[in-house]
Amino acid sequence: MQTPETQQSTQQETIMQRRTLTALVSTLVLATALPTSVLAQTYPSKPIKFIVPYAAGGLPDTVARVVAQRLTERLGQSVVVDNKPGGNGVVAYQALLQSTPQDGHAFIVSDGSMLSITPLLNKNATYKAGVDILPVSLIARSPLFIVAHPKTGVNNFQDFLNLVKSKPGNFTYGSSGIGSTHHLTMEALKAAMKIDVRHIPFRGSGQSTPALVGGQVDFSVAALPSMQGFAKNGQVSILASNAATRSTQAPDIPAIAETVPGFDFSVIIGVMAAAGTPANAIQKISQEIAEVVKHPELVKTFQAAVIDPVGSDPRTYGLAITKENEAMARAAKVADLKAE
C-alpha cells in the first residue's frame, strides 16, 4: 500500500509525464507544419533555373534573359537561363524533370509551340499541358507578319489576297520550318480565305529571311524586327500581323483578324512548371513576373523587339495555352502534318 508521500510523488511524476508528452506532441505538430510555412517565407532559397528549349538568341531566349535579370534583382537569388535545344522541347522537358520539380526551383520558358505543335510532330512528346506541364505565367505576346517581295507588286494585305486568288498555286511563301508558327499561320489563312500559296520551308528565320529579300520566294511570315530594315529600304513590304489586334509598335499595319474574325496566331511566351512543383513556388514566380513586366526598362526593351508584355496568373495562361492548342491542331490538320 502506497503511503500519502508515495501517492503524491506518483501523481507528480504522472503530471510531469503528461506535460512532457504534450510538449513532444506540440513539437511534432509544429515540425510537421513548418515545411510549408517556412518554404513560403524563404522561397526561393537558392538560384532558380529557367530552361529554354532553344539555342541562345531566339525570341523565348531573349524574353527569358530579360525577365531573369529583373527577377534576380527582386528575389535576391540568381535566375539562370539554361538553353536546352533539341526535340522541339522534348529535351528541355526531360531536363526539367531531372531538376526535381518538388524542389520548386526549375521552370521552362518557351513559346507555346512546345505544347501545341511538338506533340503533333514528335511521338516522343508524351507530356500534356495541364497534366504534366503546368502554366505559371504568360509573360508576353509577339506577333508575326506576312511580308511580300517587291516583284509581286503587292503593297497591302488586300492586294495580297486579290493576287493569290487570281493565280492559285502560282506563288510561294517561305517559313522557318515545317510545323513552325510561321508555317501554320499561313496554312490557317489559306484555309480561311480559300487561297493556294505553295510552302517552301527553310531551317529557321536565318534562311527564310534572306530567301525572301533575295526573291527566292514571293512571300514570307516573319518577325517584324527582322524585316523593318528591309522595309525601310523598299526591299520588302509588310502586309499584316497574325495577332488578334494591331501591334502597338506597328499601328499602321492591319491584323489578319480584321479580315478573318478570331484569327490569332501570335507567339505566346510564358513560364511553365512540371507537375509536382509546389503551389507556393508557382504562385510566387507568377506574382513576381506580373510586377517585373511593368518595369519601364523591360517595357522599353520588349517594345523595341515588338514584344507586348502581359504577366498573367496561371489560370489566364492556361486558357491561352488551350486556345493556341486548338488553333494549331486545326491548322496542322489543314497542313496534313504527321507525327514522326
How big is the CA angle at 316 (ends 182 and 127), to the nearest 5 degrees? 65
pLDDT per residue as tens digits for the range 137-195: 999 999 999 999 999 999 999 999 999 999 999 999 999 888 899 999 999 999 999 99
Euclidean distance between CA atoms 138 and 63, whole angstroms:
11
pLDDT at 55: 87
Cα separation values, 255 from 214, 242, 292, 298, Å: 26, 6, 28, 25
pLDDT at 280 over 50: yes
Cα separation values, 186 from 100, 155, 178, 192, 202, Å: 39, 18, 11, 10, 14
pLDDT per residue as tens digits for the range 3-32: 445 444 445 544 444 454 444 334 333 434
pLDDT per residue as tens digits for the range 89-111: 899 999 999 999 999 999 999 99
String of DSSP letters for 180-216: SHHHHHHHHHHHHHT---EEEE-SSHHHHHHHHHTTS
DSSP state of 254: P
Using the Cα atoms of residue 273, residue 277, residue 282 and residue 285 in order, give the sign of their dihedral: negative
Which residue bears the cell 506563288?
Answer: 171
pLDDT at 262 over 60: yes
Average of per-residue pLDDT across 320-331: 93
List, in sequence order, every beta strand (DSSP E) within the chain. 48-52, 79-83, 106-111, 133-142, 144-148, 172-175, 198-201, 219-223, 237-241, 267-274, 308-309
Euclidean distance between CA atoms 5 and 9, whole angstroms:
6
Euclidean distance between CA atoms 140 and 149, whole angstroms:
29
String of DSSP letters for 293-318: TT-HHHHHHHHHTT-EE----HHHHH
Decide if 109 contacts 50 (C-beta within 8 A): yes
Confidence of residue 41 (pLDDT cuts 50, 70, 90): low
Confidence of residue 252 (pLDDT cuts 50, 70, 90): very high
Most confident of 14-28, 33-47, 225-239: 225-239
C-alpha cell at 26: 506540440
* H or E, element range at 91: helix 90-98
Q: In 3D, which of 68, 65, 129 has the Cα closest to residue 93?
A: 129
Cα separation values, 234 from 11, 163, 180, Å: 99, 20, 27
pLDDT at 21: 40
What are the φ/ψ torsions at residue 311 (nearest 5 degrees)? 75, 70
C-alpha cell at 193: 480565305
Euclidean distance between CA atoms 178 and 339, whole angstroms:
12
Euclidean distance between CA atoms 113 and 103, whole angstroms:
26
Predicted TM-score (pTM) of this structure: 0.82
Confidence of residue 267 (pLDDT cuts 50, 70, 90): very high
Average of per-residue pLDDT across 118-134: 90
- Residues with Cβ within 8 Å of 272's Cβ and at least 6 positions away in sequence, in order, are 107, 108, 109, 110, 115, 133, 134, 135, 136
Confidence of residue 258 (pLDDT cuts 50, 70, 90): very high
Q: How many CA atoms are closer than 13 Å to the CA of 211, on its beta-carbon side?
A: 23
